[in-house]
Amino acid sequence: MDLKWIALVPLFPLLGSVINLFLGRRLSKGVVGTLACAAVLASFAVSVGAFFSLNAMAPEHRQVVVHLFDWIDAGSFHVPFAFLVDPLSVLMILVVTGVGFLIHVYSTSYMEHDEGYARYFTYLNLFTFSMLVLVLGSSFLTLFVGWEGVGLCSYLLIGFWYEKKSASDAGKKAFVVNRIGDFGFALGMMLIFWTFGSLNFTEVFSGASRFAAGEPVMTTICLLLFVGACGKSAQLPLYVWLPDAMEGPTPVSALIHAATMVTAGVYMVARCHVLYMLSPTAMGVVAVVGGVTALFAATIGLVQNDIKRVLAYSTVSQLGYMFLALGVGAFSAGIFHVMTHAFFKALLFLGSGSVIHALSGEQDIRKMGALKGPLGRTYFTFLFGTLALAGIFPFAGFFSKDEILWNVYNTNRVLWVVGVAGAFCTAFYMFRLVFLTFFGESRLTSEAKHHLHESPPRMLVPLFVLAILSVVGGWIGLPLMPGGNPLTHWLDPVFGPEAAVGGEGAGHGLEIGLMALSLGVALFGIMVAWLFYRKTPKLPVALGASMKGAYNMLLNKYYVDEIYGAAIVRPFFSLSGMLWTFFDVKVVDGVVNAVGRFVRGAGSAARGLQSGYVGGYALAMVLGLVVVISYYFIK
Amino acid sequence: MGLLSILVWLPLAGALALLAWPRSNEGGMKLFALGVSLANFALSVVLFRQFVPTEAGMQLVENYPWIASIGASYHLGVDGISLFLILLTTLLSALAILSSWTSIHKKMKEYLISLLLLETGMLGVFVSLDLVLFYFFWEAMLVPMYLLIGIWGGERRLYAAVKFFLYTMAGSVLMLIAILVMYFTHQRETGKYTTDLLQLYGTHFSASTEMWLFAAFFVAFAIKVPLFPFHTWLPDAHVEAPTAGSVILAGVLLKMGTYGLLRFSLPLFPNATQTFTPLVIALSVIGIIYGAMVALVQPDIKKLVAYSSVSHLGFVVLGLFALNLQGVEGSILQMLNHGVSTGALFLLVGMIYERRHTRLIADFGGLWKVVPVFSVLFMVVMFSSIGLPLTNGFVGEFLILVGAFKDHPLATVLASTGVILGAVYMLWMYQRVVFGKLENPENQGLKDVNTREKWVLAPLIVLILWMGVYPKPFLARMEPSVQKLLTEVRSRQAVTALGLHAASPEVKR
């Protein structure tokens, strides 16, 4: 396949979106859904083609820029609309279109009874388009198109049920918090432009070799870009939008807020690894923010009662792991986790969707229980996802998480301890979720009980596929392989040989030992969860009561939203109000009106000249002027 | 007569023809006025086709002696800076007339005449290359606008109209004095009386004179822009003006200020520009943030959009005083963007006002349910105003910020917060108007946009996407002229700097 066809990858979903926008309300649901799915499937097919074409090339040539058209030209500022095809972007488009397609299929059933069916698929296809532009863009600015585009779609999809205030609030919050991140990203781009004279990846990254490590401008650039990553990938302190994003339909949470969009920040930092490698400070910040977020969000996840919120905090936490990997220079490990996480987190969200669907909308795990029987298939796949997320051998998450922890261990022991602690929490809260949802006694409301049913095939098949991927997806990154694993090998042309950071030198024995240790920690987490929620269910209640302060702290998510509200949002609104009612109305207009009164006072002396009808003499003035001009003009 | 003259005077001819029109035939008058404005738009497209993109100087020039006794000439011309403002003016004028089809209930004839006179005035301002001619159009334009607000406006229309008039007159008087000073200085220097702008470009002023002249012009233009703290006429004027008035006011009239800064202040007073740059940039940044914050708390949609204009125009001024290609091209593009997007916003608000006779955000909510097409269009326009990539707003805003960042990074950081705030006030307004449950029974039976209204909005939506996806045709035509202007400004700054060096020993002696 000629790589210039890569433009079709984002184009198909864009077309799907446009068609459904204009005709969706007139087409049948079957046509709308099929069209949307077909668009993404076609993109996936082209992506596979691109993969094989790239694979057939010599590794050092696997970097092709496909120019589409000139976008913005102003003096030396020259940004074409072009796509960059390389191992990293191809891996990303495979994940986005592959997982995206499954979620589209799932959605055709999940959203079947929604009156906004066509609108939903318009947004979903538009999202796919934006995400593909994001990962394919060959410059910071093209990336930014997708970057803000996914923000837009996120806004639209979170607020999809627009009549619900909480939903439209959450959509707005997502957009605004993302914008705060984009503010940093945009400033980063400006500094890049004036530093390198270009915003194209190839020119910027090759220009970076002129700089020595640790130069302040590099650190500033990297930190500004990282502000953007924190917004998009929900890291401290900008993660607050993501848990609220669960207001959207569940497949949206699966696609956008787990599998794809939120990984954009990780992708971007990995893409800019050349710059980050030049700034140890920025790398340190990335690692610390990632590590702290990983543990912070995991602790909140311990006590949440909404099935989707547990998963949401788990997403924040897992994204933290990815940044932790990037921060210690293990870029391909970070991308590996992006991929496996896409599989198992999409699976978990879709599984939770299947549960919610079966219970006609119930999301509170305190009102679930004993669903293993009636929702056997959902349970089975959900368990796969859970094992993968908890990092149990041989599920996908085990390999990617372990590669991260191994790299962290070789760089910073404190962060490693933080990461392992997070892994314990992860295993615990996920099995708490499984036990409360699928085991024990049924706590269903009678209405839910009545409605209870396993999901239809169009929802189950995507679950099965993702369940398989949640196992085998990890095997392309098997550890301890001589010469690196296939994934690292594939990404080598992008990131370069990674041995420098750690990995190879430290001996296989230690690596195996650490693997066993983290597996043990995860199993311990599962055991504690079993003890708490299967063996002695009174224990967590007693514990919660005895440690009320800590428990409330976690249940209320460290009061972060409340703090932001009291410290930033409300003062800002009252200040704005004051500026208006005081400064604008009293001060400026006060002066203006005083001048007006003065003029009127002076004018009353000459009242004889005034007819009182301003319009009259204004018109006379114009006509007079017209006559004067015409006179000179004709003469 | 050349093309530019036809373009300028055709609306006036239309207005004169309307004078003779039988008052009873309202439909005919509307069609005629629309026809005239459409014809003028078509003419401006012809102008666009004739324009040579690679040329930096004035094109399609018409230069005749006019008032020979004072050296004033009838000098018209167009370059890459004014070209698109002309197109914007003719387009918005036609849309303004089309948008008023059913919303004007009194004095239709005078209303149409005012709109056409206004068009002549605005076009005149953009093509005049003679200060007397410019000043004439500048003042002439004021009157129909004053009438539009004062006669067809809302409840407090008289207060708003007088405030608009006084504010602008105050600026105009200062500008007139400055023009006279320039006129006589030039005569003293060259022995020749002239008001020709291109000839005056070369005039040398003493440092202090230049400061005063700059200040006088600046105040006149800053009021028009409006730049903080000269902005308080704008919310009142917008709220009271009829929809078409607001569209023209926001879409074109405000650009007179920024256009004036670019065409007059920078090249006429390059040294004073340099001196005043920090102050002007400070005012624009304050305006960006202040306008956005005050927009946030507005209960009236129209007032919110008005304050958002203060914020957006702050960006434009910031870009101009960045004094580099990116900044200035971004600014010109942003002038067009603001005309398109804010024009569309006012049209949308007008449509909803015509149906409900209220513009208070609190009276709405849940409109998506009843007017989905309106809501989608509203959303597209909103995101263009927020500056989402692939809409027009992004290209302009980003170029401005890139340009400004080079020499004024701190100001740019502060200005960039305006991008966040823009999202906050717009999304919050949109949420309260369009999302939520439809609770107010009066909104129950709202009709969605009709065919005429779709036609009013369609060109603007197309432009929003076109300028966002493929701004090249726009930027490419601006660049030579902007480059020329900047080179001139810089070279004269350099010359004066050298001159001062040479002169300083003499002063000491």
* Position B451 in a domain: yes
Partners of residue A77 in chain B, C-beta under 8 Å: 325-326, 399, 402
pLDDT at A615 over 80: no
Task: Please answer yes or no on whether B389 and A148 come within 8 Å at the CB atom.
Answer: yes
Q: B323 touching A, CB under 8 A?
A: no
CB pair distance less than 8 Å for B143 and A622: yes
Range of the domain at B366: 276-478
Residue B70 CB contacts under 8 Å (≥ 6 apart), including other chains: B132, B193, B195
Among chain B residues, the shortest Cα distance to A189 is held by: B402
How far apart CA B205 and CA B211 sit, in angstroms, is: 9
**How close is the nearest chain A Cα to the Cα of B504, in Å?**
36
pLDDT of A483 > 80? The answer is: no
CB proximity B293 to A under 8 Å: yes
Q: Does a structural domain hold residue B157?
A: no
The pLDDT score that the predictor gives to residue A612 is 46
Output the six-digit token pair for A345.
Answer: 């987190």
| Structure confidence by residue, pLDDT tens digits, A212-253 | 888 999 999 999 999 999 999 999 899 999 999 999 999 999
Q: In A, which residues are within 8 Å of B2 by CB distance?
A: none
B58: closest CA of chain A, how far (Å): 20
Number of domains making up chain B: 1
> Where residue A444 falls among pLDDT bands split at 50, 70, 90?
confident
Contacts of A416 (CB under 8 A, 6+ apart): A405, A408, A409
CA atoms within 13 A on the CB side of A212: 2
Burial label, A573 (beta-carbon count in 10 A; 0-12, 13-18, 19+): middle
Q: What span, in angstroms and rounded, lies between the C-alpha atoms of A65 and A398?
A: 35
Type of residue found at A299:
T
Residue B123 belongs to a domain: no
Give the tokens for residue B310.
């203060």
* B318 assigned to some structural domain: yes
Mean pLDDT of chain A: 87
B470 contacts in chain A (CB < 8 Å): 69, 71
Query: pLDDT tens for residues A18-32?
Result: 999 999 888 899 999
Give A589's pLDDT tier (boundaries 50, 70, 90): confident
- Measure in Å the smallest separation between the Cα of B102 and chain A Cα atoms: 24
**In percent, how much of chain B has pLDDT > 90?**
68
CA distance B203 to chain A (A): 27
**Do the domain assignments include residue B342?**
yes
Region B261-287: mean pLDDT is 94
Question: Which of 469-498 (A) contact B at CB < 8 A?
Answer: none
Quick one: pLDDT band at residue B503, thresholds 50, 70, 90? very low
Lowest mean pLDDT among A7-11, B224-228, B276-280, B285-289: B224-228
Q: Give the count of beta carbons closer than 10 Å to the beta carbon of residue A633.
A: 13
Check whether A619 has a pLDDT greater than 70. no
Q: Measure A438 CA to nearest chain B CA, in Å.
A: 35
Whether B147 and A619 lie within 8 Å, measured CB to CB: yes
The encoded tokens of residue B319 equal 């870009």
The total number of residues written for chain A in this structure:
635
Given this model, what pLDDT does residue B502 score?
A: 44
Task: Compare CB distances from A584 to B294, B428, B470 and report the shortest one's residue.
Answer: B294
For residue B147, give the nearest of A148, A592, A615 by CB distance. A615
Mutate to test the interface with B, among A584, A591, A597 (most CBs of B within 10 A): A584
CB-based contact, B198 to chain A, within 8 Å: no
Which of B74, B165, B233 comes nearest A633 by C-beta?
Answer: B74
Least CB–CB distance from B297: residue in A573, A588, A595: A573
B235-246 residue pLDDT tens? 988 989 999 999
pLDDT attached to residue A233: 93
In a domain, B228, yes or no: no
- Per DSSP, A565 falls in state I
CA distance B230 to chain A (A): 8
C-alpha pair distances (Å), B452 with each of A53, B101, B179, B423: 51, 9, 45, 30
The model's pLDDT over A171-207, given as tens digits with 9 standing for 90+, comes to: 999 999 999 999 999 999 999 999 999 999 999 999 9
Tell if the CB–CB gap between B296 and A576 is shorter than 8 Å.
yes
Instruction: Provide the pLDDT for residue A218.
Output: 94
Please give the structure tokens belonging to residue A387: 């094992």
Q: What percent of chain A has pLDDT over 90?
A: 55
pLDDT in the model for residue A71: 93
Is the model's pLDDT at A617 over the cut of 60? no
Close Cβ partners of A323 (under 8 Å, ≥ 6 residues apart) = A229, A233, A235, A265, A266, A269, A286, A287, A289, A290, A293, A334
Name which of A70, A168, A190 is nearest B401 (Cβ-Cβ). Answer: A190
CB A195 within 8 A of CB A208: no
Q: Are residues A618 and B405, on separate chains, in Cβ contact within 8 Å?
A: no
Residue, of A508 and B122, whose pLDDT is higher: B122
Mind telling me how many Å the CA of A410 is from chain B's nearest CA?
38
B158 or B42: which leads in pLDDT: B42
Instruction: Flag whether residue A562 sits within 8 Å of chain B, measured between CB atoms.
Output: no
Domain membership of residue B388 (yes or no) is: yes
User: Please, which pLDDT band fits residue A596 given cuts at 50, 70 and 90?
Assistant: confident
What pLDDT does B499 receive? 54
> What residue type is A526 in one-letter code?
I
**Lowest-confidence region among A346-350, B4-8, B203-207, B465-469:** B203-207
Out of B402, B419, B434, whose CB is closest to A190? B402
The answer to the question of residue B282 being in a domain is: yes
- Tell me which H or E stretch contains B60: strand B59-67
